[in-house]
Amino acid sequence: MTQVPLQVTEDESRLFGHALIVFAQEMGSSRLLRLSITRKSADTPYLGDGGWQARPATVAAEVVNRTTGSTTMVVGPEVCDRIPVDLQVKIEVDGLNVWGNAFWPPVTPQPGGWSQELTTPPVALPPLPERFIDRVPVPDPPSPPPRIEPVPQPVPKPKSGWRYLYFLIPLALLLAAAGTYGGYRLGWLDSWIPPVETLAARFERLKQRDRDGHELFALSGDAYRQGDGGIGLQAINLAMERGNQDAKLQIARWYDPISFDPAKADRPDANKAARYYFELVIEGKAGAKDLLRSLCAKNANSPQDPTFNGFLTSTYCEGTLE
């Protein structure tokens, strides 16, 4: 049995629920292979076609690329929808005696195919209106001014015609405003006004264009403020995968028991928060060191806190961060 380096990432070229598994070794010429995927569990350690089970089982994988010293294969929703994010799994190629370990990455689940081991999908929000102008309320007509009885005035001397401009200019502005509003209502100005980009369209555009995750992180904040948690979560996870340190720091704070946000994370996870803080300290991210120290101090001062059960103190809190 040979252990080789193993990398697992989301397959962004396919729609939802696909992951790429890259073994650092060439594996024959067969297009279809069987994989044995296992986890640390006393009851159901093996992943099969029907989910996690007690008996040994394998799942199908398709080889999509072979290079010198590397084999890339893809698995679909029947595998990805059953493996939680950050679960450590062992993947063995059936019949070839090759295996490797990896932490499972964030993979966008298939709509309608959510696994019981994944968090509940966010509630779908009603679609945005097709045009912003449809939401503009029609103003009430102005109330007529009170009647003023004319006061007899002496006959003035003839004046220049310029005095009539004081009446014509406000009238022209009023007519222009009325015409513009009518154009909005009837759709005549649609070709001159750029359409409002939806959050979903913006996400698809940034998936192709934003390489450092900066704009995806900003989109995540906009999506959560507008109540679209699905787009917000996908955008911030993709930003973190593309190396955005602000996104990783934000996710770590969501899972940190000190700053846990139940609207963004399913449960407090001290180990996940500590791991992200630790990686950010190594990368030189400002503020990550103080957050990690606060988390370690909270663990030391709260020995009975259930949120720190299984916390890896020796890994993240012992030694020096300098």
Cβ count near 160 (within 10 Å): 6
Which helix (H) or strand (E) covers residue 128, if one does?
Answer: none
What is the C-alpha to C-alpha distance for residues 172 and 35, in angstroms, rounded to an integer? 76
82 shares a domain with 37: yes
Whether 217 and 310 map to the same domain: the answer is: no
Question: Could you tell me if 214 and 274 lie in one domain?
Answer: no
Parallel, antiparallel or unpaired: strands 19-23 and 59-67: unpaired
pTM attached to this predicted model: 0.43
Is residue 175, in this structure, part of any structural domain at all?
A: no
- Tens digits of per-residue pLDDT, 286-306? 999 999 999 999 998 988 889
Q: 310: closest CA among 254, 281, 267?
A: 267
Q: Which amino acid is at 190?
A: D
Q: Answer whether residue 11 is part of any domain.
A: yes
- pLDDT (tens digit, 9 = 90+) per residue, 153-173? 777 665 666 666 777 788 888
Q: 11: which 2 tokens?
A: 């397959």
Strands 32-38, 59-67: pairing kind: antiparallel
Residues 6+ apart with CB under 8 A from 60: 32, 33, 34, 35, 75
Same domain, yes or no, for 66 and 42?
yes
pLDDT tens readout for residues 27-43? 878 889 999 999 988 89
Going by their DSSP bridges, the two strands 32-38 and 46-48 should be labelled as antiparallel
Place of tokens 């949120």: 307
Same domain, 263 and 284: yes
Asked, for residue 108, whether it belongs to a domain, the answer is: no
**Of 242, 257, 278, which marks where a domain is finished?**
242
Residue 151 lies in a domain: no
**Pick from 103, 119, 154: which residue ends a domain?**
103
* Cβ pair 274, 288 in contact under 8 A: no
What is d(CA 129, CA 135) in angstroms, rounded to the nearest whole number? 8
Helices vs strands, H then E, count in the chain: 9, 10
52-76 residue pLDDT tens: 999 999 999 999 999 988 999 999 9
d(CA 15, CA 299): 41
How many domains, the chain?
3
| Residue 241 identity (one-letter amino acid) | E
| 76 and 20 within one domain | yes
Average pLDDT score over residue span 80-91? 91
Give the other-Cβ count within 10 Å of 216's Cβ.
26
| For residue 132, pLDDT beyond 50 | no
Range of the domain at 35: 2-103
Can you tell me the distance from the alpha carbon of 287 to that of 256, in angstroms, rounded to the nearest whole number? 14
| Residue 36 and residue 20 in one domain | yes
DSSP character at residue 16: S
Residue 54 DSSP class: S
Q: What is the CATH number of the domain that holds 72?
A: 2.60.40
User: Considering the domain boundaries, does residue 117 fall inside one?
Assistant: no
